[in-house]
Structure 1
Amino acid sequence: MSIRHRYLIALPLALVVLAVAILVVWRTPASSPPGPPAERYAKALRQAHAGLPGAARVLYQQLQRDDLTPIRRAALYNELPNYPSPQALKLAKQDLEHGDPLVRRAAIASIRRLLPPAQRSLVLGPLLEDEEQSVRFAAVDALMGLDPDAIGLYFRPLQSALEQYQQALEQQPDDAQAQTHLARLYLHERDFPSAEAALARSLRLAPQDPDALATQVRLLEAMDRHDASREVLAQALALRPDSAFLQYELGLWLLRHGQREYALLALSRAVELEPDNADYRYTLAITLHDLEQVEAAQKQLENLLDRQPANRRARVQLIRYWKETGQLQNVQVLLAELERQNPDDPYLQQGL
C-alpha cells in the first residue's frame, strides 16, 4: 500500500466513508435479498442512527458478531459514541486488536469521542506502535492536543509516531489535503515556519479550500497576527458570503476574541445556510446560553434533537439547560427517552 493511500485513509475525514457505508448496507440490490443476519444489521444501524428505543442494545449485539465485513463493522462505530456505557467501551477496546486496520481506525475514532482526554491515552497509547502505519497516524490524531500529564508514559511513542506522520505527509507535496493536515500538525508543535511552508503548498494547489483557509487563520492567530487572520476571513467571505463553513469560522474567530454578540450573527447565518449541521447549531446554542438567552438556546437544541434524536451531546446539554430553568417535567421526558435509547448511559445515574 502506497504512503499516499495510507495517509488518506488515516485522516479523520475518512469517517465520511463510513457514512457512505451506512447507505450502502441499507440498500441491498433487489436481485440479492439479504438473509436475516443482514436484515438485522441494517435495521440495527438505522435504529441507532435514528435514536429509536433499544438502539444501544441492538448496536452492541451487532458489535458482538464475528461474521461482519470490516466496512460493516466500522460503520457501527460511527454511531457508538451516542450510546456510551461500560459495555460500549469494552466492545470498542476489543476491536483495537481487530485484524483489519479499517476496524482498528474506526474503534480509535469512536473511543476518541467516548472517553475524556485524561483517560484517552491509557487506551489508545499502545496503538502508537501498531504495525499498520495508518493506524498509528489515527492514534496520533486522537491524542493530539492532550497535555503531557494526560499523555503520560506515551509521550515518547507519540512524538515518534508524530514524526513519522509528518515525514509521510512531507512526501505528498502535490496533495492539498495532505499539506493542510501537515500544517496543523506543525502548528500543534508550534513549528510556525514549517506550518507556513506546508500551508503555502496547500493554498498554491487549492487557493480557496475552506479547510486550508481556516488553518491559515489559526496559524496567524498563533503567531499573534490577529489583524492578518481577520483579513483572511474577510477576503474569503467577500468571495463566498453564502459559505456556511466560512460564516461558522468567522463566528469561532469572534468567540476567541471575546466578541460574542457579533459571533452570534455569524453563527446564526451559518445555521441558516446549513440547518442540518449539528456542530453549527450546537455552537449557536452554547453561545446563546452564554449571552443569557436561555430560551433561544433551548429552542436551538430542541431543533437539533428533532433533526437528530440520537445526538446525545445535544440531549444532555438541553437537560442541563432545562434543569437550570426548573423545567423538570421536560427534563424527565428527555431522560425517559434517553433511558429507552440506552438504559446504561452514565448520565442516567445522575438523576434529577
Structure 2
Amino acid sequence: MKKRWIYGVIIFLCLTSIGLAIDWWTALPEGEQATYVGRQTCFECHQQQAEEWKESDHDLAMNPATPKFVLGDFDNTELEHFGITSRMSREGDKYYVTTQGPDGEMSRFEVKYVIGVHPLQQYLAELERGKIQVLPVTWDTELKRWYYASPDEPFGPEDPLHWTGSAQNWNHMCAECHTTNWAKNYDIATDTHHYSFSEMRVSCEACHGPGSIHVKLANSHSLFWDRRYGYGLAKLKGEDATAQLESCAPCHSHRRHVSPGHTPLDRFHDHYALSLLEDHLYHPDGQIDEEVYVFGSFTQSKMYRKGVRCTDCHNPHSLKLKFEGNKLCTQCHLEAKYDVPGHHHHKVDSKGAACVECHMPTKTYMGVDPRRDHSLRIPRPDLSVKLGTPNACNQCHTKADETPQWAAKKVDEWYGPKRRDDPHYGEILAAGQAGNPDAERALIKLTREKEVGPIVRATAVSLLASRYDTPESRKVVERSLKSNEELVRMAALRGFEGWNPRSEAEASRVGKLLAEGLTDDSRGVRTEVARILSSLPIMPNTDSNRKALERALKDYKNNLLTDGDQSGSHMSLGILYANEGDLKKAEAEFRLAIKLAPAVAGARSNLAQLLEQQGRTQEAQELRSEEVELLARDARLLPDNALLQYRVGLLYYLLGREDEAASALEKACELEPQSADFRLMLTLLYEKQQKWEQALDSVKRLIQLQPENPTFRQIQMNLQQKANPQGK
C-alpha cells in the first residue's frame, strides 16, 4: 500500500512536470504582430496605474476642444500683437479664434483640439486637406491670461514661422508625441494629410508598446509568460536601464527621424538620430539653450552612466516626483554628507539649499515654462567667466556686484580651486567649435574619455570629423566608425561628407571601411552610410555590399517619403537622385521642395546647380536671384551665423555681385576665423578682383590654418607671381 502511494506521488510529479514543461514550451508562433488595444483594455487589470495616470500631463497631452478641457477665456476676449488683434469667442460648446489667416486676411477659425494643461495650453485649428496648425494665441494657466508664445514680430503668412506655416504644423511638429500610435499618412500627389492615431493623449501603449500579445497571454490558462515574447510588452523594468530610457527618449529628446513606426519595443537609434551638443542647441559646456528637452542632457550625466533611469525620480504614471524636496536626491546620495550647510553653503530650507537649484537650473521656454536641465552638473561659474555660459549661482545672485567672477571666487573658497574634470569638456568643445588648432589633441583625448557621456564623445568626434583634416584626426574618425556606441559611429560619418580621396588606394580602403556600416545593427548608421556613399566616387566592392547599399537606400528613401510634407525631405531626395544620375527625378524633387516652402532658402540653390550642369544657365541665374534674397534675409536675422554669411557670399559671387560677396565672406571669416573653406573662398575672390594685397594676406592666413596643405601653398605661389609679374 505504501509503495503504491509512493508510486502514485512519483507518477503525479512526473505528469505534472511534463505538463509544466509542455505549458512552458508551448508558445505563440514566430512573427506574431502586436496591435493596439486601447487604454480601457489595460484599465481592466491595472486599475491603480489607471487612477494615477488620469489627469496627468500624459493624460492631458491632447484632447478635443470641449468645455471639459478648454481652460482659456473665450468670452469675446482680445489680444493685440504687432498690429494684429486676435479675438477669442465661444458659441455653445464650440470655440473660435479670429486672427490673420494664411491669405493675410482676418478670418475665424474653429478650435478643434487643445494641447497641454500646465503651465500653458495651446489651441489647434484644422485648415484645408487635413492640415492642423497651432493657433498663435496661448493661454497662461498660472496667470490666467492670453499671450503669444512666440513674442517676436511675425513676418506674415508666407513665412514658415507664421502660425499657418510649417514650423507651427501639428501634423509634423507635435502629433507624434501628443497621441498614441500616430501615423502621418501624407499623400504627396494631393497634398493631403490622412492622419490617424489610436488615441489622443499619451496613453498606456505609447510607453509600453502595443498590447494585444500581452492581453492574449494574460487571458490564457498558461502558468507562464511566453518563452518567445515574454509578457508581450517592452521590458521597462529590467536590470539594464536602456529599454526604459529609449521608451521615453523619442518624445523627450531633440532628434531627427531615421525611420517611421517606432514603438517602445524598438531601439531608439533604429528610428531616430539624437542631436549632438551643437552650438545652436546647447551652450558650449553642454547646458540646455534651445528647446532640446531632456534625453540629450541626461546622457551627459554621471547618473546616466551609472544606470539611473526616469522612474528612479518620477512616478511613471502620474509623472509626479517620487519624493518632495531634497529627499528625491538623498534616496541615493548620503543625506548627512550632502544635505547640510557644509556642502551647499546656504541656509537650511532656503532655495539655495535645494539640490535641484544648484544641479538642475532652469531655463524658461514658450514664455512661461521653466524646465530643468537634466545633465545634473556641478555649478561652474568659472566657465561663465571663460565661455560666457550661464551658471546656477547667478540665477539667484543677480546684484550688480554678484558677477560670475564673484561666484567663481566663492566656489573656490568653499571647495578649493581644483576640479577633477579640468579642463571641463565644455572648454574643449568650445575651442573645437571655433576650429582652434590647439584643441585637436584635447578633442582626440576626449573621444576616449569614459568619465563623460556618449553624447560628449560623439560631439568631439563630430568636430574632429568636420573641422580637423589632419592624419591624426582622420585616424580617430575612422576608428570611431567601429565604436560600440551608435551615436559615436553616426558622428564619425560626418567626416566623409563631400570627401575626396587622394588616391585610388585610399578610395578603396575607405570604401571598404564605409561598406562595413551597411550591415551595422543600427538602422540609423546603415542609412547614413548609404546616403554618404551615394555622393562619393567610390562604391561597395562586392555583390553583398551592393545589395546592402540598395536596402539601406530604400530605407532612407522610405523615411524621406514618410515626411513628404516637408520641403527638406524633397531636397534630400533631390540630392540623392542627382547623386544617382537621375536628373529628371532630382529636378522634380527640388521643384516640389520649393512649392512646399517657397519662403525657405536652400532648394533653389540645388536646383540652379542642377540646371547649370545641363546648360540651362538663364534659369539657374533666375533661381539664384530669388535665393539670394531669402539668404540675405536669413543673414540679417542671424547676423552672427558664419555659415549663412558664407552661403550668401557664395551666391553673390555666382551672380557676379562681387563687392557684396566680399563683404559677406569677410564677415564669415571674422565670425569663424578657423574655417579654411571660408578663407579659401575669400582668397579666390580677392584674386578674381585682382586685390593682390588682400589676397596675399588672406592666403597667408589660409596656410596658417593648414600648414601642410600643398594646394594652399600653390595658390600662394600663383598669387605672388600675379601680384609681381616682373619679379620685383
TM-score (norm 2): 0.37
Question: Are the structure 2 counterparts of residues 179 and 51 from structure 1 closer, same or farther at C-alpha, using a change threshold of 3 Å?
Answer: closer
Q: Which of 658, 664, 689 is the matching residue for 1:270?
A: 664
Structure that is richer in strand per residue: 2
The answer as to 2:612 corresponding to 1:221 is: yes
Matches within 5 A, 1:155-304: 155-237=546-628, 244=645, 245-251=647-653, 253=654, 262=656, 264-265=658-659, 267-271=661-665, 274=668, 275-276=670-671, 278=675, 279-289=677-687, 294-301=692-699
CA displacement at 1:181 relative to structure 2: 0.8
Unaligned runs of 5+ in 1: 255-261, 328-352
SS at match of 2:421: helix
Count of residue correspondences: 312
1:74 equivalent in structure 2: 458
| 1:128 Cα deviation from its structure 2 partner | 2.1
CA pair 230-122 structure 1, distance change in 2 beyond 3 A: same
Unaligned runs of 5+ in 2: 1-249, 261-268, 289-356, 360-377, 381-418, 636-644, 722-728
- AA aligned opposite 2:537: D
2:485 to 83, 100, 115: 100
CA distance in 2, matches of 1:222, 1:53: 37
* Shift in CA distance, 190/269, structure 1 to aligned 2, threshold 3 Å: farther
1:6 equivalent in alignment to 2:258: yes
Q: Does the Cα contact within 8 Å between 1:179 and 1:201 map onto a contact in 2?
A: yes
Answer whether contact 1:64 1:91 (CA < 8 A) is retained: no
Q: Which residue of 2 aligns with 1:116?
A: 501
Partners in 1 of 2:441 and 2:631 — Cα distance? 45
- Judged with a 3 Å threshold, the aligned counterparts in structure 2 of structure 1 residues 19 and 141 are, in CA distance, closer, same or farther, namely farther
Q: Would the alpha carbon gap of residues 263 and 109 (structure 1) be closer, same or farther in structure 2, given more than 3 Å must change? A: same
Aligned to 1:139: 529
Per-residue deviation, 1:104: 1.0
Residue 228 of structure 1: CA displacement?
Answer: 1.1
Asked if structure 2 preserves the Cα contact closer than 8 Å seen for 1:145 and 1:188, the reply is yes
Is the CA contact (8 Å cut-off) linking 1:176 and 1:205 kept in structure 2? yes
Once the 2 structures are TM-superposed, how far is the Cα of residue 303 of structure 1 from its aligned partner? 6.3
Kept in 2, the 8 Å contact 1:108–1:138? The answer is: yes
Provide Cα deviations, 1:133-180, integer angstroms capped at 9, x if missing partner.
2212321333233235x6544555434422332222122111111111
Change (3 A) 1:312 1:114: farther
| Contact 1:288–1:296, Cα closer than 8 Å, also in 2 | yes
Aligned to 2:244: none
Q: TM-score, with normalisation over the residues of structure 1? A: 0.70
CA–CA separation in structure 1 for the residues paired with 2:671 and 2:621:
27
Give CA deviations for 1:111-136 in whole Å, capped at 9, x if unaligned.
55787362532322211222222212
Larger radius of gyration: 2
Structure 2 counterpart of 1:93, one-letter code: E
Say if 2:391 is the partner of 1:33. Answer: no
Provide the rounded CA distance (Å) in 2 between the counterparts of 1:190 and 1:313.
Answer: 37
Specify whether residues 63 and 222 from structure 1 end up closer, same or farther in structure 2 by C-alpha distance, changes over 3 A only. Answer: same
Aligned partners of 1:16, 1:25: CA distance in 2, in Å? 12
Aligned to 2:564, the other structure's residue is in SS state coil
Deviation readout 1:9-37 (Å, 9 max, x if unpaired):
99xx9878533467342659965236523
Change (3 A) 1:176 1:4: same
- For 2:468 and 2:279, how far apart are their aligned partners in 1? 17
The 1:213/1:51 distance shift into structure 2, 3 A limit, reads closer
The residue type equivalent to 1:73 in the other structure is R
What's the Cα RMSD here?
4.2
Structure of greater relative contact order (alpha carbons < 8 Å, 6+ residues apart): 1
Give SS of 2:494's match: helix
CA deviations on 1:168-199 (whole Å, 9 max, x unpaired) are: 21221111111111111112223233223322
**CA 1:78–1:113: 2 relative to 1, 3 Å:** farther
1:42 counterpart residue number: 426
Question: 1: distance between equivalents of 2:630 and 2:479?
Answer: 48
Q: What secondary structure does 2:257 align onto?
A: helix
Aligned-partner residue type, residue 581 of structure 2: R
Contact in 2 for aligned 1:108/1:139 (Cα 8 Å): yes
* Matched-pair contact (CA < 8 Å) for 2:461–2:480: no
- SS in structure 2 opposite 1:37? coil
Give the Cα–Cα distance (whole angstroms) in 1 for the partners of residues 701 and 473 of structure 2. 27
Question: Per-residue CA shift, 1:256-275, capped at 9, x if unaligned?
Answer: xxxxxx36445314325645
Over 3 Å counting, the alpha-carbon distance change for 1:7 and 1:276 in structure 2 is farther
